[in-house]
Chain A
Amino acid sequence: MTRLAHADIQAGRLSSEQLAQNFADIAPPLDRQQALLAAQRCFYCYEAPCTVACPTGIDIPSFIKRISSDNLKGAATDILSANILGGACARVCPTEILCEGSCVRNKDDDKPVQIGALQRYATDWVYASGTQLFERAAATGRRVAVVGAGPAGLACAHALARHGHEIVIFEALERSGGLNEYGIAAYKVPGFVQAEIDWLLGIGGIRIEHGRELGRNLALVELQRDFDAVFLGLGLGAVNALGLPGEHLEGVRNAVDFIAELRQCADLSRMPVGRRVVVIGGGNTAIDAAIQSRRLGAEEVTMVYRRGPETMGATVVEQAFARDEGVRIVHWARPLAINGENGVVEEVQFAYTKPGPDGRPLDTREVFTLAADSVLKAIGQVLDPVEGPALKGGRIAVDAEFRTSLPKVWAGGDCVGGKVDLTVQSVEDGKRAAASIHSSLNVSAG
């Protein structure tokens, strides 16, 4: 067999029809009858565990009850007043570890209520019809700068705009949405992210300036000077490096960059993917990169994670999904080196690991290699250096109200970390920070 002189990374491994099918809506919407049947399974629990499990505290039994009586406006209002990105969360939330995971129907091997699908059913019509459920209060004349148009920034901006404040969002990238736009598997949110944002901005009073990046063409001190308050929803802009020889080889890249490129690729038949792909890491990014590689036509995709399945960031459901998609998952192995020739990756060498006394993985003597045309690194993202606010554990330090160490500056979302790095948590952070900002602006009610 003749070897290619370069790593075998090519576009067009599958037909356009196959690609369209592979990247279509992974969980198509429920129709009315399906939704009514699903809604009927809800017990309408009192002080429901699902609501407790939702980081944004959506009153789930309440919205499901409203679905049952065809009160979709009430259902959508229930959802979106707790979580302004309720449409995205209905699609991307790992419901199996949140609301659906805590559904009382899980007991005795029953299936949980399809809360995510019902949430989508209750909200889809809002974006499709452009119905505004919330009214903006009279203008207060107060101005708030929001840095980052991801879930945290958008949630914060919307809540503040509702109060009548004027918001300017500064976004480094070309499009709004943050991870929803750049970092989530395409088949989870086809054609949805921008529609949701357009609807969200319909409240009025929010302006977005794209291409504005903190430290490059935007200065925090100026924002502090020019605005009554500043919210930082920066996300995690940098990626952990493996720190291994060969990391610079052609064919080795960050999984987040691969996913972002895929998400921004208008024609997937032009999106290159390796023939043999090795993904290093065990989180949602790793899973999304692995599955999407398969769906682009990669022949072999192997995910390698240094610990066992129970500590993987990707949920059990995601892991099972990956396996169904033909992704091989290797647990308890750590990369030692990436080898190549002529500057092009050829293989990755791994050591098998085992749990040490403190649970951390220790190398064993056994090693193995995986041939690779493409290596996608997904071992976690970190905060881009940011000047000004105090940090804690590598992220921006905030108090219970999301105030940073700087006056007039709040922060939330992945850049502050805390509980879980999920869209839904970022929305909650943004919402809470907005409440704190609003009360600090000291505007009399009315």
Chain B
Amino acid sequence: MADISSNFIGVRSPNPFWLASAPPTDKAYNVIRAFEAGWGGVVWKTLGLDPPVVNVSSRYGAVRLGERRIAGLNNIELISDRPLQVNLDEIRRVKRDWPDRAMVVSLMVPCDELSWKTILPMVEDTGADAVELNFGCPHGMSERGMGSAVGQVPEYVGMVAAWVKQHSKLPCIVKLTPNITDIRHPARAAFKGGADAVSLINTINSITTVDLDLMAPTPTVDGKGTHGGYCGPAVRPIALNMVAEIARDAGMRGKPISGIGGIGNWRDAAEFMALGCGTVQVCTAAMHYGFRIVDDMIDGLKNWMDSKGYRRLDDFVGKAVPNVTDWQFLNMAYDIKARIDQDKCVQCGLCHIACEDTSHQAITKQKDGVRHFEVIDEECVGCNLCMHVCPVDGCITMERVDAGGYRNWTTHPNNPMRKAEA
């Protein structure tokens, strides 16, 4: 069976599944339960300097999608609201009792060297394996010049990373905020400052819903709301892209990344890892279903790796990175057409109306006066829309019809900036 033990920037864990810095890792009680359930590691909920922050009542908002009660989750909770020493004592105890698990400590202190210099030795003293710098939380702390307020300024990211490396021997992970135009800039700054790894994404600025009776955003605190940080399955595609942008960047290729963003099962994890993540961090799925979900993540990942012949994580980590490219290099000679399996078709007409109203008028709705859905090849551009709207698995498939060959936009006659063909 596949070996899924992980060595990420020198931090070892029996599997690559860590709990992200968040409410599930707020205290020893939760973390011990997580380790008992099988989690490979945790990033302890962010510590700050005393006095501790104060949290408000009413903290989460959820986006529902059909039967899925939490397709996206938003929170306005701040960092740990417990005294620093309480957290440190618990971290020391848990790490002592669970030496094989990764114990990473998330930190967020004011953006001055003294603050960092003060807290780092205290953390190091607990026996923790690494620190993660929280430059990501977009709510609350950012108003105080911390969290994403730092993460949004690459110069600060690099500066703090350098302080941390200077004042501590611990491996340093910089957690990035996605609330930025180009994720590569803070990532480059982190590595330039000496960070050993980046983790992403932190949560996205969001208003979950608007309560139309209260005329206020949710979660609502006594009639008012504030933007929170969005996470959960809904953010996964955004996270995957940001991870890929860093992984395929010429200057950062191969740099350690810990992937975060809507991971709920082994397949989600494998996707992040295929894009270059050495470990993955989970929060929302655990908050939705409890720690037991790690069972299937461990088991499922091993079974999948066995089926593919991957013996260890390194065999597939980053394997999809070379296939993430710029649009301009996509093959324009490639041509696919939709095919509707008439035996599977339930005659719902969704493919027709989607194509008719919003695409290329390439699907009939009748044949010889009878309800019948069929692709008109001459009109079909191979966009996949019908396949996605079809409610029946495997009913609409895309068939390759081109004769092979390769040409891309860079040399296309319609491209005013084309390069001469070699």
**Chain A residues near B350 (CB, 8 Å)?**
43-46
Binding site of B, secondary structure by majority: helix, strand, loop or mixed? loop
A49 at the interface (CB under 8 A from B): yes
* Cα distance, A105 to B391, chains bound together (Å): 10
Residue among A43, A46, A48, A104 making CB contact with B352, cutoff 8 Å = A46
Choose among A40, A46, A47, A104 the residue with the greatest number of B CB atoms under 10 Å from its CB. A46
Chain A residues within an 8 Å CB radius of B347 = 45, 49, 104
Does the CB pair B67–A45 fall under 8 Å? no
Residues 339-361 (chain A) with a chain B CB within 8 angstroms: none
Q: Which residues of A in the span 29-45 have a Cβ within 8 Å of any Cβ on B? A: 37, 40, 43-45
Which chain B positions have C-beta within 8 A of A107? 346
Task: Give, as a whole number of angstroms, the nearest-CB distance from B67 to chain A.
Answer: 6
* Chain B residue at minimum C-beta to C-beta distance from A110: B346
Q: Please tell me if the beta carbons of B391 and A43 are within 8 angstroms of each other in the complex.
A: yes
Interface residue B349 (Cβ < 8 Å from any Cβ of A): yes
- Taking a contact as CB atoms under 8 Å apart, the answer to whether A48 and B349 are in contact is yes
Chain A's nearest CB lies how many Å from the CB of B354? 9
Q: Which residues of A contact B348 (CB under 8 A)?
A: 43, 45-46, 48, 104
| Distance between B363 CB and nearest chain A CB, rounded to angstroms | 10
Chain A's closest residue to B64 (CB) is A36
B59: interface (CB < 8 Å): no
For B352, the chain A residues whose CB sits under 8 A away are 46
When the two chains form the complex, which single residue of B66, B346, B353 contacts A104, counting CB atoms closer than 8 Å?
B346
B 339-358 to A, binary, CB cutoff 8 A, 1 in contact else 0: 00000001111101100000
In whole Å, how far is B131's beta carbon from the nearest beta carbon of chain A?
45
A46 & B353 in contact (Cβ 8 Å cutoff): yes
On B, residues with C-beta under 8 Å from A are 66-67, 346-350, 352-353, 365, 371, 391
A89-119 toward B: CB 8 Å interface, digit per residue (1/0)? Answer: 0000000000000001101100000000000
B67: chain A residues within 8 A (beta carbon): 37, 40
Q: Are A40 and B66 in contact (CB under 8 A)?
A: yes
Inter-chain CA distance A47–B371, complex, in Å, is 10
Q: With A43-B391, A46-B352, A46-B353 as given contacts, are A105 and B346 in contact (CB-CB < 8 Å)? A: yes
In residues 1-50 of chain A, which contact B (Cβ within 8 Å)?
Answer: 37, 40, 43-49
Chain B residues with CB under 8 A of A47:
349, 365, 371
Chain A contributes a number of interface residues (CB within 8 A of B) equal to 13
Binding site for B on A (CB under 8 A): 37, 40, 43-49, 104-105, 107-108
A284 to chain B, nearest CB (A): 29
Complex CA–CA separation, A44 to B365 (angstroms): 15
B353 cross-chain contacts in A, Cβ below 8 A: 46
Cα(A47)–Cα(B350), bound, Å: 9
Q: How far is the CA of A108 from the CA of B347 in the complex (A)?
A: 13
A107 to B352, CA, bound (A): 19
Bound Cα distance from A40 to B347, whole angstroms: 18
List 9 tightest A-B contacts by C-beta distance, closest first. Answer: A46-B349, A46-B353, A104-B346, A45-B348, A43-B348, A107-B346, A104-B348, A40-B66, A43-B391
Complex Cα distance A47/B353, Å?
Answer: 9
> CB-CB < 8 A to B66: which residues of A?
40
Q: In angstroms, how far is the closest chain B Cβ from the Cβ of A111?
A: 13
Q: Please report the C-alpha to C-alpha distance between residue A47 and residue B347 in the assembled complex, in whole angstroms.
A: 10
CA distance A44 to B353 in the complex (A): 11
- CA A280 to CA B391, docked complex, whole Å: 45
On chain B, the residues within 8 Å of A45 by CB distance are: 347-350
User: Within the complex, what minimum Cβ distance (angstroms) separates B157 from chain A?
Assistant: 43
In the complex, besides A43-B350, A45-B347, 18 extra interface pairs with C-beta distance below 8 angstroms are A43-B346, A43-B348, A43-B391, A44-B350, A45-B349, A45-B350, A46-B348, A46-B349, A46-B350, A46-B352, A46-B353, A48-B349, A49-B347, A49-B371, A104-B346, A104-B347, A104-B348, A107-B346
**Which of B347, B350, B352 counts the most A-chain CB atoms under 10 A from its CB?**
B347
The smallest C-beta distance from A67 to any residue of chain B, in angstroms, reads 13
Q: Smallest distance from the beta carbon of A254 to chain B beta carbons, Å?
A: 43
Expressed in whole angstroms, the minimum distance between the Cβ of B259 and any Cβ of chain A is 31
> Cα distance A107–B390 when bound, in Å?
14
Give the residue name and chain of the A residue nearest to B366 (CB): A47
Q: In the complex, what residue of chain A is closest to B352 when comparing beta carbons?
A: A46
Chain B residues within an 8 Å CB radius of A104:
346-348
A45 CA to B353 CA in the complex, in Å? Answer: 9
A44 nearest CB neighbor, chain B only: B350
Nearest CB of chain A from residue B391's CB, rounded to whole Å? 5
Q: Taking the nearest CB of chain A, how far is it from the CB of B350, in angstroms? A: 6
Cα A411 to Cα B346 with chains together (Å): 39
CA of A49 to CA of B370, assembled, Å:
12
User: What are 18 A-B interface contacts by the 8 Å CB criterion?
Assistant: A37-B67, A43-B350, A43-B391, A44-B350, A45-B347, A46-B349, A46-B350, A46-B352, A46-B353, A46-B365, A47-B371, A48-B348, A49-B347, A104-B346, A104-B347, A104-B348, A105-B346, A108-B346
Measured between alpha carbons, how far is A105 from B346 in the docked complex, in Å?
7
* Complex-state Cα separation, A303 to B328, whole angstroms: 75
Contacts of A46 in B (CB 8 A): 348-350, 352-353, 365
A105 proximity list for chain B (CB < 8 A) = 346
For residue A107, give the distance in angstroms from its CB to the closest CB of chain B: 5
Q: Which residues of A contact B365 (CB under 8 A)?
A: 46-47
Distance between Cα atoms of A201 and B371 in the complex (Å): 40
- Min distance, Cβ B324 to any Cβ of chain A, angstroms: 34
Least CB separation from A37: chain B residue: B67
Instruction: List the B side residues contacting A44 at CB < 8 Å.
Output: 350
Residue of B nearest to A49 (CB): B347
B-side contacts of A40, CB under 8 Å: 66-67
Residue of A nearest to B390 (CB): A43
A45 to B346, CA, bound (A): 10
Tell me the bound Cα distance from A211 to B293 in angstroms: 70
Question: How long is the Cα–Cα vector from A234 to B321 in the complex, in angstroms?
Answer: 76
Of chain A, the residue at the smallest CB distance from B353 is A46
A48 to B350, CA, bound (A): 10
Minimum C-beta distance from A118 to chain B (A): 15
- Complex Cα gap A377–B224 (Å): 69
Question: In whole angstroms, how far apart are the Cα atoms of A108 and B346 in the complex?
Answer: 9
Taking CB atoms, residues of chain B closer than 8 Å to A37 are 67
Tell me the complex Cα distance, A46–B356, Å. Answer: 11
Distance to closest chain A CB from B108 (angstroms)? 40
A46 to chain B, nearest CB (A): 3
Residues in A with CB closer than 8 Å to B349 are 45-48
How far does the alpha carbon of A40 sit from the alpha carbon of B353 in the complex, in Å?
A: 19
Give the residues in chain B near A49, CB-CB below 8 Å.
Answer: 347, 371
Q: Which residue of A lies closest to B389 (CB)?
A: A43
